[in-house]
């Protein structure tokens, strides 16, 4: 009888990326139901009882832009509310209380702003974040977001961008037009983005100009890059400095060279 040796199955390997929090500090703050402000390199998260009630980032249009860019709210109305409030979140609540905005429209813009700015706030950072305990943020009438939901959506968005176009350079560099002869047709939404590509604006600058969420504009930009319409402007490479001039020849050097020449001639 022949005995067949069946090798044992390989031991399972733990996925080191599975379940990893984007910000361990943020996860800990959520677990302790902390209230305050978490400042990171690319954005700020406002927590109330461990939930995200507001988010801001210099890379994402604020709630004011999202509300006023397309006529949902008059710019003057926002300015009056902002002058009476301690921040954008409180200004939005004041608008809600006075009935200047439909509840659904304001809640939708608030969630859009949280997820949009939160995406950038949770981006990989070269500096540690810091948290300031503060009772100013609070659970109010506008929707708040669980930390786990914000992190899950941020990861989903990263994966989506990578699948559309794996080179992230177009996210932050000034954009230029690429060769249109080989490019595919564009949608009206993408056309609005393409019309603002001028070699100076970045994707987030275009988003602010259009009054759109920055992440959605990143999606448009990566699709345009994949289709051959746009490309990131290559950074300028500084020319290397010229080599230093040779040291001047001094009198002792001349005398030494003469003695060496005389010695060679005598051989």
Please check whether residue 241 lies inside any domain of the structure. no
Q: Does residue 172 share a domain with residue 153? A: no
**What distances in angstroms separate CA 3 from CA 6, 8, 10, 225, one per listed residue?**
9, 15, 21, 59
- What is the pLDDT, as a whole number, of residue 89? 87
- pLDDT in the model for residue 136: 86
The pLDDT value given to residue 65:
94
pLDDT tens digits, one per residue of 25-46: 999 999 999 999 999 999 999 9
112 & 208 share domain: no
Q: Is residue 69 part of a domain?
A: yes
Among 163, 189, 217, the domain-final residue is 163
- 234 pLDDT band (50/70/90 cuts)? confident
Residue 3, in any domain of the structure: no
Residue 143 has pLDDT above 50, yes or no: yes
* pLDDT interval class at 183 (50, 70, 90): low
Q: Would you state the pLDDT for residue 243?
A: 74
Do 115 and 65 lie in one domain? The reply is yes
Same domain assignment for residues 94 and 207: no
Same domain, residue pair 85 and 155: yes
pLDDT of the residue at 5: 40
The last residue of one of the domains, among 144, 163, 182, is: 163
Residue 4 lies in a domain: no
When pLDDT is averaged across residues 216-242 and rounded to a whole number, the result is: 86
Where residue 267 falls among pLDDT bands split at 50, 70, 90? low
Both 83 and 199 in one domain: the answer is no
Least reliable range by pLDDT among 83-97, 156-170, 239-253: 239-253
- Whether residue 189 sits in one domain with residue 110: no
pLDDT in tens, 51-76: 999 999 999 999 999 999 988 899 99
Residue 176 lies in a domain: yes
Tell me the mean pLDDT in the region 103-123. 95
Residues 149-182 pLDDT 10s: 999 999 999 999 999 999 999 999 999 998 766 6
Regarding whether 150 and 77 lie in a shared domain, the answer is: yes
The rounded Cα 203 to chain-centroid distance in angstroms is 10
Beta strands in 15-91 (DSSP E): 36-40, 43-48, 51-56
Residues 120 and 182 grouped into a single domain? no
Report the domain count for the chain. 2
Task: Let me know if residue 1 belongs to a domain.
Answer: no
Mean pLDDT of the region 106-133? 95
* pLDDT band, residue 8 (cuts 50/70/90): very low
Q: Is residue 13 part of a domain?
A: no
Regarding whether 227 and 99 lie in a shared domain, the answer is: no
Could you list the residue range(s) of the whole structural domain that residue 130 is in? 24-163
Residue 214 has pLDDT above 80, yes or no: yes
- Kindly report each contact of residues 190-195 with a partner whose C-beta sits within 8 Å and lies 24 or more positions away, as own/partner: 190/220, 190/223, 190/224, 190/229, 193/217, 193/220, 193/221, 193/224, 194/224, 194/229, 194/230
- Among 158-167, 176-185, 207-216, 218-227, the minimum mean pLDDT is found in 176-185
What is the average pLDDT value for the chain, to the nearest integer? 86
Q: Looking at the domain assignment, is residue 96 inside a domain? A: yes
What does the pLDDT average to over 248-259? Answer: 64
% pLDDT > 70, the chain: 83
Same domain assignment for residues 83 and 178: no
Same domain, 121 and 133: yes
Higher pLDDT, 243 or 121: 121
Find the mean pLDDT for residues 199-213.
96
Q: Look at residues 65, 107, 106 and name the one whose alpha carbon lies nearest to residue 204.
A: 65
Q: What is the pLDDT of residue 9?
A: 38
């Amino acid at each position: 009888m022949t005995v067949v040796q069946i090798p044992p199955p390989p031991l399972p390997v733990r996925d080191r990326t599975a379940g990893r929090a984007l910000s361990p500090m943020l996860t800990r703050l959520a677990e302790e139901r902390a209230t305050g402000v978490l400042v990171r390199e690319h954005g700020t998260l406002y927590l109330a009882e461990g939930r995200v009630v507001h988010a801001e980032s210099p890379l994402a249009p604020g709630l004011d832009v999202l509300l006023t860019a397309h006529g949902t709210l008059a710019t003057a109305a926002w300015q009056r509310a902002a002058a009476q409030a301690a921040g954008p979140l409180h200004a939005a609540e004041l608008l809600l209380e006075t009935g200047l905005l439909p509840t659904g429209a304001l809640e939708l813009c608030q969630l859009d702003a949280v997820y949009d700015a939160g995406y950038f706030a949770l981006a990989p950072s070269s500096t540690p974040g810091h948290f300031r305990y503060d009772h100013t943020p609070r659970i109010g009438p506008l929707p708040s977001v669980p930390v786990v939901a914000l992190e899950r959506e941020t990861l989903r968005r990263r994966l989506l961008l990578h699948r559309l176009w794996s080179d992230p350079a177009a996210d932050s560099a000034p954009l230029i037009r690429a060769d249109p002869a080989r490019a595919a047709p564009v949608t009206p939404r993408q056309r609005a983005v393409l019309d603002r590509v001028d070699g100076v604006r970045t994707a987030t600058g275009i988003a602010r100009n259009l009054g759109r969420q920055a992440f959605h504009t990143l999606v448009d930009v990566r699709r345009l890059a994949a289709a051959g319409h746009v490309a990131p402007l290559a950074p300028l490479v500084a020319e290397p400095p010229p080599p230093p001039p040779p040291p001047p020849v001094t009198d002792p050097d001349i005398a030494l060279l003469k003695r060496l020449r005389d010695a060679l001639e005598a051989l």
